[in-house]
């Protein structure tokens, strides 16, 4: 984060650069019990990165190395109609959303969730529907951060510089399907 200085979190500091490090972690099975959803670098990794960057930085710059700040995400997904296999739908949905929000393999390009990228209900809805295919239809996605109840707003939920989402819960609910020709008259 260019201009980010840990001593002045609310200001942009010329010459300051903060590098947030997410270590590599296995991503072959995001449903395993020992899966690490929010990988953090150990102090040795931070020191090694800082020492390496110190050797190459410009004299007039300050370089800081920090772990990411994870924001806990709770999602409530409304499914339209009545899916035949609710357990399968819930399993597929949770795995897809966990992968989409993952710091290493998530995001639209599947190369890791970008630091500070806001959570967009429309993007989450697309990712969920793409994973479910014909199993169920997604009606809405509600987002809650850091223990707040998910709210069904269309606005994006902002994340700060150096922040990444980590999915903690996905709750599904069934809403009545609207038949073609029904709705507003």
For 8-44, give the secondary structure using H, E and C: CCCCCCCCEEEEECCCCCCCCCCCCCCCCCCCCCCHH
Report how many domains make up the chain.
2
Q: pLDDT band at 179, cuts 50/70/90?
A: low
Same domain for 76 and 152?
Answer: yes
Query: Is residue 22 located within the same domain as residue 93?
Result: no
Residue 54 has pLDDT above 70, yes or no: yes
Do the domain assignments include residue 2?
no
Tell whether 118 and 132 lie within a shared domain: yes
Domain boundary among 37, 66, 95: 66
Q: What's the pLDDT tens digit per position in 62-83? A: 999 999 999 999 999 999 877 7
Residues 40 and 77 in one domain: no
Q: Is 140 in the same domain as 59? A: no
User: What's residue 35's pLDDT?
Assistant: 85
- The per-residue pLDDT for range 7-19, each reduced to its tens digit, is 998 899 999 999 9
Segment among 3-12, 24-33, 90-99 with least mean pLDDT:
24-33
Q: The tokens of 152 are what?
A: 């069904």
Whether residue 50 is predicted with pLDDT greater than 70 in this model: the reply is yes
pLDDT of residue 181: 63
Same domain, 53 and 73: no
> Does 40 share its domain with 73?
no
Q: How would you class 5 by CB atoms within 10 Å of its CB: exposed for 0-12, middle for 13-18, buried for 19 or more?
A: middle
Q: Is the model's pTM score more than 0.75?
A: yes
In a domain? residue 11: no
- Give the domain range for residue 36: 16-66
């Amino acid at each position: 984060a260019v201009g980010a200085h840990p001593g002045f979190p609310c200001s942009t500091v010329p010459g300051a650069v903060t590098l947030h490090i997410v270590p590599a972690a296995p991503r072959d099975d995001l449903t395993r019990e020992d899966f690490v959803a929010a990988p953090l670098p150990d102090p040795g990794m931070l020191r090694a990165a800082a020492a390496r960057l110190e050797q190459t930085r410009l004299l007039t710059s300050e370089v800081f190395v920090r772990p990411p700040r994870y924001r806990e995400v709770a999602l409530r997904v409304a499914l339209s109609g009545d899916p035949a296999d609710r357990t399968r739908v819930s399993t597929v949905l949770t795995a897809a959303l966990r992968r989409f929000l993952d710091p290493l393999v998530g995001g639209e390009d599947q190369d890791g969730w970008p630091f500070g990228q806001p959570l967009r209900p429309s993007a989450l809805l697309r990712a969920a529907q793409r994973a479910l295919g014909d199993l169920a239809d997604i009606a809405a996605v509600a987002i809650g951060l850091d223990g707040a109840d998910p709210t069904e707003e269309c606005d994006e939920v902002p994340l700060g510089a150096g922040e990444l989402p980590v999915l903690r819960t996905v709750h599904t609910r069934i809403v009545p399907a609207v038949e073609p020709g029904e709705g507003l008259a």
